[in-house]
Structure 1
Amino acid sequence: MKTYLGGAAVAALAMGFATETLATEWNVSLWGKRRAFTEHVEKLAELVSEKTGGEFTMNISYGGLSSNRENLDGISIGAFEMAQFCAGYHPDKNPSITVLELPFLGVSTLEQEREISMAVYAHPAVAADLARWNATLLMPSPLPQYNLVGVGDTPSSLADFEGLSVRATGGIGAAMETVGAVPTSMSATEVRQAMDSGVIKSASFAPHAHMSFGTIENANWWTTNLNPGTVNCPVVVNTDALDSLSDAHRDALLGSVDEALDYYIEYYNNETMAAWGPALDERGIERVTFAPEEIAAFKAAAAEPAAQDWIAENSARGLPAQELYDMVTGMVAEGS
């Protein structure tokens, strides 16, 4: 038995299918709360929705989909389509991008951090590394140099870090070990409670995180110029989800990355950093600045050994570790 549809019915049915096909909804896994660190994701969602007339939307969740240390795992199984994570949370899962977390690389601006990160993300070996998790690197979350907030006696020299318990991940943790500190890796959301309970005496963060996660609320001191490095926290997408997008939606997503990063950097520089000094002053937090010779000695003790260890370890994994390291340090030297 055959059923024949009139032209109007066929058109209506086709229109229904077209509408269903065009609508795309992604879930995005972040953590904590909305803050400078997540503004590029928020902006990206806004831009994509605008460019697609609301047909491509992103539901951003702050901790409701996964813990921050499990975001990459969630991406790998398609539990959500986009997520942010920090390389230092699980370096064995993403060894290639930990080159960006080595101490004392000398990156001086958010713009430079962005350019170098995007170059590393585009390297075939890095793409293959993340492909093991069905993940495609979309954009970085550029962060300034980390410094320490702490409770208790204010350090007057690097020798005073001997035995100090500090929340520090990746290369920053390795650097702190060289001056006798005892680094502990924990997620950002755990740090305030750990400081309040005395589990740690200090925490290494960028300014936005010290404010967002409350480490300055009971702190006594802040280091102004340790600058041992930063962490690399990419935004990734599930590769299958990316591949399944229509051309128009994929173009809207990928074509909005630069604008989202521009907005992020402007926001961080103009909003976050403007609020940082007053936040310290309001709480009576002492600023600690170390002598240039101490910083030079710190760098000499931490940078080269960490780099050589990283190169040896990751060359053994089959990564072009020396090539990646040379690319990063070369771009820094060129002032990229």
Structure 2
Amino acid sequence: MNQFLGKAAVAAITLAFASQAAATEWNVSVWGKRRAFTEHVEKLAELVSEKTDGEFTMNVSYGGLSKNKENLDGISIGAFEMAQFCAGYHRDKNPTITVLELPFLGVNTLDEEVAVSHAVYGHPAVQADLARWNAKLLMTSPMPQYNIVGTGEPRDSLAKMDGMRVRATGGIGKAFSAVGAVPTSVTATEAYNAMESGVVDTVAFAQHAHLAFRTIDQAEWWTANLNPGTVNCPVVVNVDAYDALSDKEREALDSSVDEAIAHYLTNYGELLTKWEGILAEKNVTKVTLSDAELDAFRAKAADPIREAWIADMTAQGIPAQELYDLVMDTLKKQRM
């Protein structure tokens, strides 16, 4: 009897270990705090766990695994299985997706941002670009057009932007540089301190980031219609980790992307609805630039920067014109 119980106990322990071994646990590196920008990652983790009965789980870490500018490096060496990063943080490491950060692309909605991003992510040249880092593009983190907050006299003309020190990355930084401003690419988590200490005069962010990183708390004004562009921030997975998933786990992950994005869009829409009230509550003045100033900004920033980007990327062997045309064609199809 005792011998039987002993064998049964060993069998139970063996089964328990086998069950533990079968479970898949991924670490996910993001930064800051939970906010609209990370809601699709949180939703994805929730959906994957539900679909696999808890056998595939994700631990979302806000800065505990890596610095935001080092997330792609962490993915490349398998330090964690999933991460979010922004193309403008290291343009040389992901040149193909910087097409999505060109200024004044004309993307008007978050749905359009999702469409153009995922179209670009699906291009073979882009997939090969990220594969150099052992990264597989999973989904985008769609953001609306950036606008700037600042203190003192509002920067409501190009002349007033001359010499302006602005926190701006990627193509947005290049756009401001084209009109005489001085962009600096401090990370989102450093923006508040940079503004407080006077390192920058203004900060360019989407609405959620002005809230999450508290730059709105220092703001006296906000540009309501500058809309120079946005940054592109993919969520990627380590190729080896993805390939190691079981068929069930991979299906759970892949099939959850659209639902996670839909959740993100709904959540972000609610934030945009509240934005006007937040501005009033914090006594932040809305600054509207004239059509003439916006046209002048586009003339100086849009065409020259796009043409320079295409020439530079083509020289590197990247199908730059094809990628740009893909963005424009996707926008047209999205609006049909």
TM-score, normalization by structure 2: 0.94
Q: Secondary structure at the match of 1:216?
A: helix
Query: Which residue of the partner structure matches residue 245 of structure 1?
Result: 245
Q: CA deviation at 1:216?
A: 1.0
| Cα deviation, residue 315, structure 1 | 1.0
2:289 counterpart residue number? 290
Aligned residue in 2 for 1:175? 175
Deviation at 1:156, TM superposition (A): 3.5
Residue 158 of structure 2: aligned partner: 158
Superposed, 1:31-50 pairs within 5 Å as 31-50=31-50
Task: Give the match for residue 317 of structure 1.
Answer: 316
Residue identity opposite 1:284 in structure 2 = N
The offset of 1:12, in angstroms, is 5.8
What is the aligned-residue identity percentage?
Answer: 64
Q: CA deviation at 1:302?
A: 0.8
Aligned position for 2:203? 203
CA RMSD across the alignment: 1.7
Structure 1 residues 260, 104: closer, same or farther in 2, change over 3 A? same
Contact 2:119 / 2:330 at 8 angstroms: preserved in 1? Answer: no
Q: Which residue of 2 aligns with 1:4?
A: none
Q: Render the CA deviation track for 1:274-319: whole Å, top value 9, x for unaligned.
A: 2211211112111110111211121121111111111111111111
Any gaps of 5 or more consecutive residues in structure 1? 1-6
User: CA shift at 1:18, angstroms?
Assistant: 4.9
Question: Does structure 2 conserve the Cα–Cα contact (< 8 Å) formed by 1:105 and 1:332?
Answer: no
Distance 2:56 2:95 in 1: 32
SS in 2 for 1:322: helix
- Gaps of at least 5 residues in structure 2 are 1-6
1:8 & 1:198 partners in 2: Cα distance?
69
Partners of 2:220 and 2:327 in 1: how far apart?
35
Residue 59 (structure 2) pairs with residue 59 (structure 1): yes
Q: Is the contact between residue 27 and residue 61 of structure 1 (CA under 8 Å) also seen in structure 2?
A: yes
Q: Distance in 1 between matches of 2:313 and 2:332?
A: 23
Verify the 8 A CA contact 1:103 1:175 in the aligned structure 2: yes
TM-score normalized by structure 1? 0.94
Q: Could you say which residue in structure 2 is the equivalent of 1:103?
A: 103
Is contact 1:157–1:290 with CA below 8 Å preserved after alignment? yes
What letter corresponds to residue 286 of structure 1 in structure 2? T
Amino acid in the other structure paired with 2:57? T
Q: SS at 1:144's partner residue?
A: coil
Letter in 2 for 1:142: P
Distance 2:155 2:184 in 1: 19
Q: What is the distance in 2 between the residues matched to 1:154 and 1:186?
A: 22
Any conservation in 1 of the 2:115–2:334 contact (CA below 8 Å)? no
Q: Secondary structure at the match of 2:25?
A: strand
> How far does the alpha carbon of each residue in 1:57-114 deviate from its partner, in whole angstroms, 9 at most, with x for none?
1111000000000000000000000000000000000000000000000001101110
CA contact (8 A) 1:175 1:302 kept: yes
Question: C-alpha separation between the residues in 2 aligned to 1:71 and 1:84?
Answer: 7
Please give the secondary structure, in 1, of the residue aligned with 2:317: coil
In structure 2, distance between residues paired with 1:105 and 1:11? 62
Please name the residue that 2:25 is paired with. 25
Q: Distance in 1 between matches of 2:8 and 2:281?
A: 69
Q: Which amino acid aligns with 1:91?
A: R
Whole-angstrom distance in 1 between the partners of 2:51 and 2:328: 37
**Structure 2: how far apart are the matches of 1:268 and 1:35?**
9
Range with bigger deviation, 303-312 or 36-45: 303-312
Matched residues in 2 for 1:240 and 1:224: separation?
Answer: 44
| Count of paired positions | 330
